[in-house]
């Protein structure tokens, strides 16, 4: 078999439909796998499809399963371009509601009858098909574990996420993204188009709650120092905030460090200094 044909065969063998078998633990499939690729995701998600497309969407495979007592669960497996895209899509939807799950061997949370988790380049949702006919939370969790066990080994979070200062960080507010329009979903206090975020940088946004008050930190790694310099200058030349909250930014090599809002200039400088130390401190 020629190498290109072998590669194509391996890709087919690893696609999500193989991860949605007729039986999934105690669940039995009620209908065949439905698969959407590229822009066909709009047929399934409509407006929400844009979120996955901006994180490198490749395909979505879904299947409905039935529990022993007749409840129905829907399993959705989103395949993104890479693990960073999967983490980005996961972080986009996570919020302060619901509960974190630690039994899946991956970051996961449950909210409103749905379990979301990411692993390697996949984002998975296991949820009740009918809101009025809820399956047991334990059934949902066992189904999610069965899917997780079939996926490739977990991947580390994007390196930039691990460089966030830890003191006061609200983990569930972390948003990782690589396109400008993603920033606008979570923060509208800075014009995203002025930051040069469509050159495929890596960016992470997070909220902090510390004794001095609430702050918002943005870290961006650009392909080169010029992009970071231009973005830091763009933030520095923004008009002062009308609510009295402080803002600060600087360039560190190819990185932009920006406190988009803080309770005081001193707190903005302090958080900026901690971010600089986490990134190595060298200019």
Give the whole-number percent of the chain exceeding pLDDT 70.
Answer: 90
Whether residue 140 sits in one domain with residue 34: yes
Which range (5-19, 212-226, 231-245) has the least confidence? Answer: 5-19
What is the pLDDT, as a whole number, of residue 11?
Answer: 36
pTM for the full predicted model: 0.89
Whether residue 49 sits in one domain with residue 166: no
- pLDDT of residue 86 exceeding 90: yes
Q: Which position has the higher pLDDT, 44 or 219? A: 219
What secondary structure letter does DSSP report for 162? G
What is the pLDDT, as a whole number, of residue 130?
Answer: 64
Give the containing element (helix H, strand E) for 257: strand 255-262
Whether residue 165 sits in one domain with residue 106: no
pLDDT band for position 4 (cuts 50, 70, 90): very low
**Residue 5, domain member (yes or no):** no
Whether residue 116 sits in one domain with residue 16: yes
Whether residue 145 sits in one domain with residue 244: no
What is the pLDDT, as a whole number, of residue 155?
Answer: 85
**Residue 114, domain member (yes or no):** yes
Whether residue 142 sits in one domain with residue 59: yes
What is the pLDDT, as a whole number, of residue 229?
Answer: 95
- pLDDT of residue 5 exceeding 50: no
**Residue 254, domain member (yes or no):** yes
Q: What is the CATH number of the domain that holds 15?
A: 3.40.1000
Q: Which domain holds residue 269?
A: 161-278
- pLDDT of residue 225 exceeding 80: yes
Among 150, 169, 187, identify where a domain stops.
Answer: 150
Distance CA 265, CA 42 (A): 44
Domain count, the chain: 2
DSSP string spanning 190-224?
A: S-GGGGTTTS--EEEEEEEEETTEEEEEEEEE-SS
């Amino acid at each position: 078999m020629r190498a290109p044909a072998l590669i194509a065969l391996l890709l087919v063998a690893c696609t999500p439909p193989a991860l949605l078998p007729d039986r999934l633990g105690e669940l039995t499939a009620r209908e065949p796998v439905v698969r959407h690729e590229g822009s066909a995701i709009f047929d399934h998600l409509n407006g929400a499809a844009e979120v996955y497309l901006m994180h490198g969407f490749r395909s979505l495979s879904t299947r409905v399963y039935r529990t022993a007592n007749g409840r129905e669960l829907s399993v959705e497996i989103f395949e993104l371009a890479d693990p960073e895209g999967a983490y980005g899509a996961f972080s986009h939807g996570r919020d302060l509601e619901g509960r974190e799950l630690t039994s899946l061997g991956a970051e996961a949370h449950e909210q409103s009858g749905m379990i979301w988790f990411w692993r390697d380049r996949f984002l998975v949702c296991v949820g009740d098909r009918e809101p009025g006919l809820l399956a047991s939370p334990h059934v949902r969790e066992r189904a999610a574990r069965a899917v997780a066990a079939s996926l490739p080994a977990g991947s580390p979070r994007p390196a930039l996420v691990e460089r966030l200062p830890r003191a006061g960080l609200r983990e569930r507010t972390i948003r990782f993204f690589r396109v400008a329009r993603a920033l606008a979903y979570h923060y509208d206090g800075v014009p995203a188009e002025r930051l040069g975020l469509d050159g495929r940088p890596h960016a992470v946004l997070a909220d902090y709650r510390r004794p001095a008050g609430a702050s918002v930190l943005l870290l961006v790694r650009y392909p080169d120092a010029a992009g970071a310099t231009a973005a830091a200058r763009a933030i520095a030349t923004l008009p002062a905030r009308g609510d009295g909250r402080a803002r600060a930014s600087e360039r560190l090599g190819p990185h932009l460090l920006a406190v988009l809002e803080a309770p005081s200039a001193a707190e903005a400088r302090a958080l900026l200094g901690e971010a600089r130390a986490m990134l190595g401190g060298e200019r």
